[in-house]
Amino acid sequence: MLHTPLEDRLDFSLRVKDLAARSRHASMHALTEEATKTAVVLPLIQTFGFDVFNLEEVTPEYIADVGIKKGEKIDFAIKIDKKIAILIEAKPTSMSLGSAQYSQLYRYFGVAGARLAILTNGREIWFFSDIDEKNKMDKRPFFTFDLQSYDEHQVLELARFQKANFAIESILEAASNLKFVKSAAAFLKKQLSTPDDEFVRYVGRQIYDGTLTKSAVEQLRPAISSALDELIRNRIQDKLNVTFGQEAVQNDQHTEKKPVEEPQSSEIDTTQEETFAFLVVKAIGSKIVPVERITLRDSKSYCSIFVDDNNRKPVCRLYFNSKTTKSIGLFDDQKIETRHQIVEASDIYKFSNQIEKALSTYS
Reported as a single tens digit per residue, the pLDDT across 38-54 is: 999 999 999 999 999 99
Contact call for residues 156 and 29 (beta carbons, < 8 A): no
Reported as a single tens digit per residue, the pLDDT across 323-348 is: 888 999 999 888 889 999 998 888 89
Q: Which domains does the chain have, with CATH numbers?
A: 5-181 (3.90.1570.30), 197-253 (no CATH), 272-360 (3.90.930)
Reported as a single tens digit per residue, the pLDDT across 213-266 is: 888 888 888 888 878 877 777 776 666 665 555 555 555 555 444 443 434 444
The whole-angstrom separation of Cα 227 and Cα 224 is 5
pLDDT attached to residue 67: 56
**Cβ-defined contacts of 96-101 (< 8 Å, 24+):** 96/121, 97/121, 97/124, 97/126
pLDDT attached to residue 328: 95
Task: Kindly give the residue spans of alpha helices, DSSP state H, lying in the chain.
Answer: 5-29, 33-36, 42-47, 103-112, 152-158, 168-193, 197-207, 214-257, 272-285, 352-360
Reported as a single tens digit per residue, the pLDDT across 167-178 is: 877 787 777 777
Contact call for residues 355 and 285 (beta carbons, < 8 A): yes
pLDDT attached to residue 237: 67
> In Å, what is the CA distance from 174 to each residue of 157, 178, 187, 329, 332?
9, 6, 20, 42, 41
Of residues 155, 118, 179, the one with CA closest to residue 15? 155
Reported as a single tens digit per residue, the pLDDT across 102-140 is: 777 888 787 777 889 999 999 999 999 888 888 788 888
- The residue-averaged pLDDT of 196-203 equals 90
The whole-angstrom separation of Cα 178 and Cα 84 is 24
pTM, to two decimals:
0.55
The whole-angstrom separation of Cα 155 and Cα 16 is 8
Percent of the chain with pLDDT over 90: 29
Residue 6's pLDDT band (cuts 50, 70, 90): low
The whole-angstrom separation of Cα 146 and Cα 157 is 12
The whole-angstrom separation of Cα 128 and Cα 144 is 9
Checking if the pLDDT of 71 tops 80, the result is no
